[in-house]
Amino acid sequence: MTLVDTTTLWSQALEVVRSELNTPTFKTWFEHTAPLRFVEDVFVVGVANEFARDWLESRYSGLLAAALSQAAGRPLKVAFEVSEVSANLADRAAVETQHEPDRMPGPSTRRRDDGDGGFNPKYTFDSFVVGSSNEFAYHAALAVAETPGGAYNPLYIYGGVGLGKTHLLQAIGHYVAASFPHKKVKYVSSEQFTNDFINSIGDRDKSRIDGFRRQYRTNDVLLVDDIQFIAGKEQTQEEFFHTFNALQQAGKQIVLSSDKPPKDIGNIEDRLRSRFEMGLITDIQPPELETRIAILRRKVEAERLLVPDEVLSFVAERIASNIRELEGALIRIVAFSSLTRTPIDLDLASAVLKDIFPERTARPISISTIQQEVCKFYGISKSDLTGSKRSQTYVYPRQIAMYLARELTDFSLPRIGQEFGGRDHTTVIHATAKIRKLMNEQREVYNQVQTLTNLIKQRS
């Protein structure tokens, strides 16, 4: 079969697949694929990474094989292979989708808000801007929405304020309500759960507590935001523990969000902490510059605003840690422009943000600062970090610190080695290569480096 025939067959098969899936699912898993080759009765599909390959093999190989067989007019098998072609395609798609306006679900995909859902119509998967800081959490959330109770249970998403946790929880709710109309979905904050529980036991009426339990334990999907706020509330924890068990034993989906991982929530029962840790834990990091610009572009296009790209870049560079502050800054600029009837440009943006988000004169990052933060993070002393001990307890933090010194400072390799106990520059090269490799292979290492980078920059 020629390349043209292969491409044509693939296009026809994708149309079949598209008709069977919801738009977010199709866009996430199939838009970044590409036909690689056709060997006998096996059609090889290129994918962007191992995560996509494993997911497609386990979830959609049957559908895709059927679609290919239908297009070819004979039985075909499908195989998936990580390919640079697909990785490049995914990169281009990420750039292009930064310019797509928000698409609100139409009447056929919107579930009536009966007070139990409480979903913000803007918080959908389509409107979520995906970048390297939140990609894993996004895919995990979508996987849960596609197969409630079957993918990761519970799904636990943690991260700082204003990074998109609530957006993902409500996107799951929207998706499940639209795709599985028969399923009951409930989104609440932990504060609302606590208040509902207190109200149910306030007058000692047994029917009230029974009603509370029916309200929470009969859901197919329970989404609880800011679960860390049940810390220290013994009776609430007791009730949530039994609610959690009842839902999970019935095969129902639980999704939780928090500002910290389960192990870092203080004053919470160990049995509850272990429940939180038994599923998939994923984090959302502060967005990198490109993602911040994409978020602002999405906001501008959704609101049909005219804001120059240079202003969007200026705002994105000024505000790095919080999406709410990022969007709030844009709103202030637009509002000031409207009130004063002044066109939006860099001068106006700078004037508006000068007092609210003053420009920081960042000091150069020192190796000493990096060493202090790494020591504090891993609980070791500076003498251990720069000393000669070969235990992994000290070698790993030492390599992390060398990597960060290489990435965040302009010091030469010999100078970095000198600051770490007079080590040779080749040791720094080895440490940098080792950590870079681990970051690509282990999410936990990537998270630690991102967290340390943010801590170090905050001190500069």
Average pLDDT of each block of 10 consecutive residues along the chain (460 residues)?
70 84 72 84 86 78 85 87 63 43 36 51 89 90 92 90 91 93 92 89 75 92 94 93 95 94 90 94 88 90 87 88 82 84 90 69 80 93 92 93 88 89 91 86 81 81
225: in domain: yes
- CA separation for the pair 311, 309 (Å, rounded): 5
- Collapse the DSSP code of 283 into the 3-class scheme (helix H, G, I; strand E, B; otherwise coil) and give the result: strand
- Sort 58 into a burial class: Cβ within 10 Å, 0-12 / 13-18 / 19+: exposed
**Alpha helical stretches, state H, 202-288:** 206-217, 234-249, 270-276
Q: Residue 394: inside a domain, yes or no? A: yes
Same domain, 343 and 394: no
pTM: 0.59
**Domain end position, chosen among 307, 327, 354:** 354
Cα–Cα distance measured from residue 64 to residue 181, given in angstroms and rounded to the nearest whole number: 25
Between the CA of residue 6 and those of 1, 13, 76, 161, 186, what are the distances in Å?
6, 11, 13, 47, 45
- Tell me what pLDDT residue 92 has: 47
Span 155-192, pLDDT tens digits:
999 988 888 999 999 999 999 999 998 999 999 999 88
The predicted pLDDT at position 216 comes to: 95
Do the Cβ atoms of 39 and 76 come closer than 8 Å? no
Domain boundary pick from 354, 388, 404: 354
Same domain membership, residue 395 and residue 312 = no
Residue that has been written with the tokens 């609100």 in this structure: 104
Q: What is the CATH number of the domain that holds 39?
A: 3.30.300.180
pLDDT given at position 139: 93
385 neighbors 375 (Cβ within 8 angstroms)? yes
Residues 377 and 405 in one domain: yes
Dihedral sign, Cα of residue 66, residue 71, residue 72, residue 78? negative
CA 128/CA 148 separation, integer angstroms: 20
Total domain count for the chain?
4
Residue 420: give its domain's CATH number: 1.10.1750.10
In a domain, 174, yes or no: yes
Q: What is the pLDDT of residue 448?
A: 87
- Per-residue confidence (pLDDT) for residue 287, from 0 to 100: 86
The answer to whether residue 150 sits within a structural domain is yes
| CA dist., res. 5 & res. 1, Å (int) | 6
Same domain, 236 and 310: no
Rounded Cα distance, 13 and 310, in Å:
41
Closest CA to 78 of 40, 128, 110: 40
134 and 86 co-located in one domain: no
Q: Considering all CA atoms of the chain, what is the largest pairwise distance in Å, rounded to the nearest integer?
A: 76
> How many Å apart are CA 443 and CA 140, to the nearest integer?
13
Q: Which residues form the domain of 257?
A: 125-283
Picking from 112, 125, 119, 109, the residue whose alpha carbon sits closest to that of residue 180 is: 109
> What is the model's pLDDT at position 226?
92
Beta bridge partners of 330: none
Whether residues 333 and 380 share a domain: the answer is: no
Give the pLDDT confidence of 378-387 residue by residue, as tens digits: 999 999 999 9
- Specify whether 137 is located in the same domain as 233: yes
Side chain identity at 108, as an amino acid letter? Answer: S
pLDDT, tens only, 307-332: 999 999 999 988 877 788 888 888 88
Are residues 130 and 17 part of one domain?
Answer: no
Over residues 241-269, the pLDDT tens digits come to 999 999 999 999 999 999 899 998 888 99
Residues 85 and 133 in one domain: no
Same domain (yes/no): 232, 298:
no
**Would you say residue 104 lies in a domain?**
no
* Domain harbouring 187, CATH code: 3.40.50.300
Question: Is 455 part of any domain?
Answer: yes
Helix (H) / strand (E) containing 45: strand 42-47
> What gap in Å lies between CA 250 and CA 224, rounded to an integer?
18
- Report the DSSP pairing between strands 221-225 and 253-258: parallel
